[in-house]
Amino acid sequence: MERELGWLKREALSDDEGRHALAHDLGVPFVSLEREDISLDALQQLPEPLCRAHNLVAYKESGDTLEVALLDLADLDALEPLRAQLGKKIVPRLTTRDSLRRALLLYQKILKETYGEKLHKETHPHKTLETLLRHAYAQRASEAHLETTPRGVLVRYRHGRTLREAMHLPASVAGVFGAIRSLANVGSKTLPQEGRFKADLGSGVGMTVRVSSVPVVDGEKLVLRLLREDTGSKGFTLEGLGLHGAGVAALETLLHARRGLVAVAGPASSGRTTLLYTLLDLLNTPELSLASIEEKVSARLPYVAQTAVQEGLTMAAALRAVLRQSPDVVMLDSITDRDTADLAAAAAARGVLVLASVPHESVIPDATVVVRSALVRKLCQKQTRTGRTLERRHLESLEPHADFAKVLAALKEEERVAKDLAWKEVAYPHVTGCSECDAGYSGMTGVYEVVVDGSSILNLYEDALYKAAAGLTSVAEVLRFVQQQTDVE
């Protein structure tokens, strides 16, 4: 939007006046928020660190609609991972910097009164932990990072890929570390350990907390992964993960048919588990018999019979037992042996929909659809980036790995570029950093190779190049990704 404001600035209008004029031009309502205009319930629908980082606030909700005031319409992208979790239609409204600043100050004041003062005053470790978990839940955090420092206890929350400071608590609350270790059965603070516990936050809200403890110079760092049992893994869509076009269509066709085998391949931390949970979540209804077999259950899902592999129970043995119960859908979080692969393929042939993660491609079963997954850094959306065409040196580096004609055809088919655009005219964004990102990047996005009937829609490199042309990542990141992958090969 800053680019669109350019001509208004040349006419000597202030940013707010230009924003008002642009709102009129785009047909987006313009609001000026006073304290009485802000619903406190609506305000707390979005995490405060996210609101502060992207200059937006939720100020009104009615039925299934949440009205959000912001300075730049491009910042709506930051809410994408929360849409399903919110369960509401997000309606944008442009506002002034002054209005937004007052709303954010009000939000910070509410949080301080509700949680901050209580955390500073609370002396009972278990009460402190309960308040902390409630605060993290209210802020829709996926993780809470607690670290002892010379100043006290640093608390940070993760939203998506971004970790932001939430508060700094006095050393007097450090007893909460002992309470967490006790609940998670993590005995020593001098050795790295892992554990878990369940928390009941009231009002039907349950949470499984996975705990990782690591000793640090000033004491201890705990990472609490917060798995909401009221929402399971909801909050992702195929498009939100980075799938698009024919790849989404192929997966949706298979999900609708509810038979066949989807094999998701890729190394650790490539998004395999997230994609599997998203596919399972899209099928999750009381009318279907769903089961999962996992090395470690990452998140609890309603209506899914989840089995954890343990000593004396192999993945293959668990799959045989589950198949005797006539499931409609089975998810396997790791096929590492031929026996399990053959069983999965046979189940799919009999009419079961099997969703499987395959860390090593040597044991990919006979799959209906294979999805190879990886992650690349996502461009920060806070800055305007001028488009540039590919340089010859970039073309020469990418040519052995990507079919440029296939990428251009996908871009045109999905209306990312004009139908009459030539390949040499496709513009790619230039990386521009800001104070709130990592050298121009913020978070990650998936790149996928979807293989149907033995033929790839786009390979990983082509999909990465597609993402660059679509403005989601940079050519420099694509080249880094290509080099990383070829080094592995």
Q: How far is CA 82 from the centre of its chain?
A: 9
What pLDDT does residue 147 have? 93
Q: How many alpha carbons lie under 13 Å from residue 442 in its C-beta half-sphere?
A: 23
* 39-67 confidence digits (pLDDT tens): 888 888 888 878 888 888 999 888 888 89
Tell me which residue of 31, 33, 35, 32 sits closest to 106, measured CA to CA. Answer: 35
- 414 three-class SS: coil
Q: Which residues, other chains included, contact 223 with Cβ-Cβ below 8 Å and sequence gap of 6+? A: 143, 144, 145, 146, 211, 212, 214
What pLDDT does residue 233 have? 42
What parts of the chain have a pLDDT lower than 70? 1-27, 35-36, 81-85, 116-117, 120-123, 160-161, 188-189, 202-205, 228-236, 382-386, 434-438, 487-489
The pTM score is 0.56
What pLDDT does residue 160 have? 65
Tell me which residue of 266, 334, 261, 333 sits closest to 301, measured CA to CA. Answer: 333
Q: How many alpha carbons lie under 13 Å from residue 8 in its C-beta half-sphere?
A: 18
Whose tokens are 């998810």? That residue is: 331
DSSP structure class, residue 235:
S
Residues shown for the chain:
489
Tell me which residue of 58, 56, 78 sits closest to 67, measured CA to CA. Answer: 58
Q: Are 279 and 301 in contact (CB under 8 A)?
A: no
What pLDDT does residue 130 have? 86
- Report the sign of the C-alpha dihedral through residues 347, 349, 354, 360, in that order: positive
- Helical H runs in 139-211? 175-184
What pLDDT does residue 488 have? 65
> Could you give the CA distance from residue 76 to residue 376 in angstroms, rounded to a whole number?
21
Q: Are 247 and 448 in contact (CB under 8 A)?
A: yes
DSSP structure class, residue 36:
G
Q: Are 156 and 77 in contact (CB under 8 A)?
A: no
> Using a CB cutoff of 8 Å and minimum separation of 24, what contacts does 103-112 make?
103/33, 103/38, 103/43, 103/57, 103/59, 103/69, 104/48, 104/51, 104/52, 104/57, 106/35, 106/38, 106/43, 107/43, 107/44, 107/48, 107/51, 107/57, 108/48, 110/40, 110/43, 110/44, 111/48, 111/135
Going along the chain from its start, the domains and CATH numbers come out as 2-105 (3.30.300.160), 123-228 (3.30.450.90), 238-367 (3.40.50.300), 374-488 (no CATH)
* 331-348 confidence digits (pLDDT tens): 998 888 889 999 999 999
| Angle 221-223-224 from CA coordinates, rounded to 5° | 140
